[in-house]
Amino acid sequence: MSLREKIEKLKEEKGAVILAHNYQTLDIQEIADFKGDSLELAIKATKVDANLIVFCGVDFMAESVAILNPDKKVVVPCKQARCPMAAQLTPEMVREAKKSGYPFIAYVNTHASVKAEADVCCTSANAPDVAKGVAKEKCFMGPDANLAAFASKKARVDVIPVPKHGYCYVHKAFQVEDVIAAREKYKDVEVIVHPECDVEVQNLADFVGSTSQMLKYAEKSDAKTLVVGTEIGLIERIRAEGINAVPLRRSVCIEMKLNTLEGVYKALLEEKNVVKVDETIASRARRAIEKMFKVME
């Protein structure tokens, strides 16, 4: 029996569900019951009725699923799959910023203890809407400064980044020169990028959006070539749909790639890598995530 068949069989026997982020390798995406961006995965997490959830992504995403499902068991293929950007914002930094009286929007790429201090959460798919929804004139957002700038421009409110220069190393890799070179190389081309890319790169793109928003854009685009500025997993996913997508530059999230099919099988079999969030923190973090869902209504 192949590893894939073993996973399918075990999943069936245990009545488990596998959720995977768009950056996971294609073999993991293929065995997932549901795949999506951070927002879609968080929404899906509120609708899952299985008691065992195998989450394939990074720590903050699995934590959000656990926070939203306190009575379910959430396991991960690899405990070391942690988003390094999440560590750039601490609960103390949120508390300090909030002394000014303005609301704090925590990007979901944060630890539960940070979400617990924030007024509301956002993802790359809804950051402008959340900023517009909670800020009269000004708000804070962190840790990604490029997402804060994107939200500020789109929502037309003052979004102050905390920390000042928080970033994702995977998206920092994309350069203005890459966009210029891509437009020279391909004739009928569209450039789509993630809002974690530098503002100068965003400004040269045809579309800026979350991973799933980019996928949807790609599915509708008539361009001969789509040049995509985000982690390589999404480009593989777009290509798997028969769309001619090329990377703006090959950039890999090492942490996302720590998950393997073998790891998924072991997680299902042993149920050892359980994601647990202390309920005193979880209840406050849940409030911030649920407020995000409310703002979107």
**Backbone φ, ψ for residue 191 (5° rounding):** -110, 125
Pairing of strands 104-107, 52-56: unpaired
- Residue 43 CB neighbours (<10 A): 14
Nearer to ligand SF4, 11 or 194 (CB): 194
Q: Which residues pair with 159 in a beta bridge?
A: 139
Token couple for 78: 């690899």
Q: Measuring CA to CA, how many Å separate 261 from each of 3, 24, 264, 270, 271?
A: 8, 10, 5, 14, 15
* C-beta closer to ligand SF4: residue 32 or 157: 32
Q: Does 24 bind ligand 13P (CB under 6 A)?
A: no
Angstrom distance (rounded) from CA 21 to CA 256:
9
Give the separation between CA 82 and CA 62, rounded to whole angstroms.
Answer: 10
Among 20, 37, 233, 267, interactor with ligand 13P by CB under 6 A = 37
To the nearest whole angstrom, how small is the minimum distance from the Cβ of residue 37 to ligand 13P? 3
- In this complex, which beta carbon is closest to ligand 13P, that of residue 254 or of residue 269? 254
The entry of ligand 13P, ligand SF4, none near residue 124 (CB within 5 to 8 angstroms by kind) is ligand 13P
Which positions lie near ligand SF4, rule CB under 6 A?
58, 83-85, 109, 168, 170, 231, 253, 255-256
Site for ligand 13P (CB under 6 A): which residue of 29, 123, 146, 152? 123
Both structure tokens of 37: 């961006």
In the complex, least distance from residue 271 CB atom to ligand 13P, rounded to whole angstroms: 25
Among candidate residues 131, 90, 143, the one with its CA nearest the CA of residue 112: 90
Question: Is residue 124 near ligand 13P by the rule CB under 6 A?
Answer: yes
What mask, x for binding ligand 13P by CB under 6 A, covers residues 189 to 228? -------x-------------xx-----------------
Residue 41 binding result from ligand 13P, ligand SF4, none, given CB thresholds of 5 to 8 Å by partner type? none
CA distance 210 to 31: 22
Q: What minimum distance in Å lies between the beta carbon of 27 and ligand 13P?
A: 19
